[in-house]
């Protein structure tokens, strides 16, 4: 009885030490129909570079193993008014049931996140269930909205795509939304503004967790000029958002 308790404590301490100290090796990218393409492949370009420097594993996780389209289903989203045949498909490696333990979970944004209930319920459950086991959670664009729906941003500072600010912050009334930010960090949670900001948050995260030399080398390989100032947000200005629009501002509550 006592030894069982002790061994549980030892396993618990080991898991804790592992979570705090070890460099992440297992990356999970969460996908759903109607993902934003650059939200996925921008940060993945940087992570592909990182995987050239360290032994890393990528899991692409979704509700089912079916190919996932970047176009949301026409059943609820009329995103294709010109009847174009124009979308890209990605194959998941695992489902929510079969995904291995993950150190980092990355959640892209996209029009698919405007799906009516209950379409995203299993996705929300997955985020809620996995968050306590992660070293880091990284969201791109309105991916912060589904993390908010899972409750994992409650009490934390976060940002999102400024073009869908009102809709997204409504999904997380307990989140301290920051209106002017290319990206925001709060503890182990990193959230970025829209689309291309996902590249900047990923490179900033690589700099913080691995090294600035690694982030610079990867950015140079991408021939990408990084936005290095996390509070410089021309797209907040474009959408009429200032500090006064922070959801922590009492005048909004």
Residues that bind ligand NAG (CB under 6 A): 25, 53, 55-57, 82-83, 157, 165-166, 178, 210-211, 213-214, 217, 229, 231-232, 240-241, 243-246, 248-249
Rounded distance, CA 57 to CA 138, Å?
16
Work out the number of other CB atoms within 10 angstroms of the CB of residue 210: 16
Taking the complex as a whole, how short is the minimal distance between the CB of residue 150 and ligand NAG, in angstroms? 22
Q: How many helices (H) and strands (E) does the chain have?
A: 8, 11
For strand 189-192 and strand 183-186, is the pairing parallel, antiparallel, or unpaired? Answer: antiparallel
Nearer to ligand NAG, 122 or 210 (CB): 210
Nearer to ligand NAG, 50 or 120 (CB): 50
At 101, give phi and psi (nearest 5°).
Answer: -55, 140
Nearer to ligand NAG, 157 or 226 (CB): 157
Taking the complex as a whole, how short is the minimal distance between the CB of residue 231 and ligand NAG, in angstroms? 5
Rounded distance, CA 127 to CA 135, Å?
13
Nearer to ligand NAG, 4 or 85 (CB): 85
Nearer to ligand NAG, 32 or 162 (CB): 162
Taking the complex as a whole, how short is the minimal distance between the CB of residue 139 and ligand NAG, in angstroms? 17
Nearer to ligand NAG, 149 or 182 (CB): 182
What are the structure tokens assigned to 178, written together? 């920051």
Taking the complex as a whole, how short is the minimal distance between the CB of residue 100 and ligand NAG, in angstroms? 8
Asked whether 138 and 60 are in contact (CB, 8 A), the reply is no
Nearer to ligand NAG, 4 or 84 (CB): 84
Strand partners, 191: 139, 184
First-to-last alpha carbon distance for the chain, in angstroms, is 51
Taking the complex as a whole, how short is the minimal distance between the CB of residue 248 and ligand NAG, in angstroms? 5
Taking the complex as a whole, how short is the minimal distance between the CB of residue 136 and ligand NAG, in angstroms? 16
Taking the complex as a whole, how short is the minimal distance between the CB of residue 15 and ligand NAG, in angstroms? 16
User: Whose CB is nearest to ligand NAG?
Assistant: 211
Pick from 127, 246, 143, 227: which is nearest to 190 by CA? 143
């Amino acid at each position: 009885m006592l030894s069982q308790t002790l061994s549980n404590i030892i396993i618990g301490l080991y898991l804790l030490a592992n979570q705090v100290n070890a460099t992440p090796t297992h990356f999970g990218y969460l996908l759903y129909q109607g993902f934003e393409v650059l939200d996925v492949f921008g940060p993945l370009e940087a992570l592909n570079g990182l995987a050239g420097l360290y032994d890393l594993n990528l899991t692409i996780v979704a509700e089912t193993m079916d190919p996932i389209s970047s176009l949301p289903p026409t059943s609820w989203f009329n995103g294709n008014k010109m009847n174009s045949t124009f979308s890209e498909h990605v194959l998941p490696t695992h489902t929510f049931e079969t995904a291995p333990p993950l150190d980092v979970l990355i959640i892209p944004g996209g029009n698919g996140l405007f799906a009516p209930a209950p379409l995203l319920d299993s996705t929300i459950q997955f985020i809620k269930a996995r968050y306590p086991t992660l070293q880091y959670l990284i969201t791109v664009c309105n991916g912060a909205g589904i993390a908010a729906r899972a409750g994992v941003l409650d009490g934390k500072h976060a940002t999102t795509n400024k073009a869908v600010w009102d809709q997204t912050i409504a999904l997380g009334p307990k989140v301290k939304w920051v209106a002017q930010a290319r990206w925001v960090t709060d503890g182990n949670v990193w959230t970025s503004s829209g689309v291309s900001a996902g590249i900047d948050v990923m490179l900033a995260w690589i700099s913080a967790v691995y090294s600035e030399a690694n982030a610079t080398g990867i950015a140079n390989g991408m021939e990408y000029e990084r936005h290095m100032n996390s509070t410089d947000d021309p797209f907040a200005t474009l959408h009429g958002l200032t500090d006064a629009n922070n959801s922590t501002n009492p005048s909004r509550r």
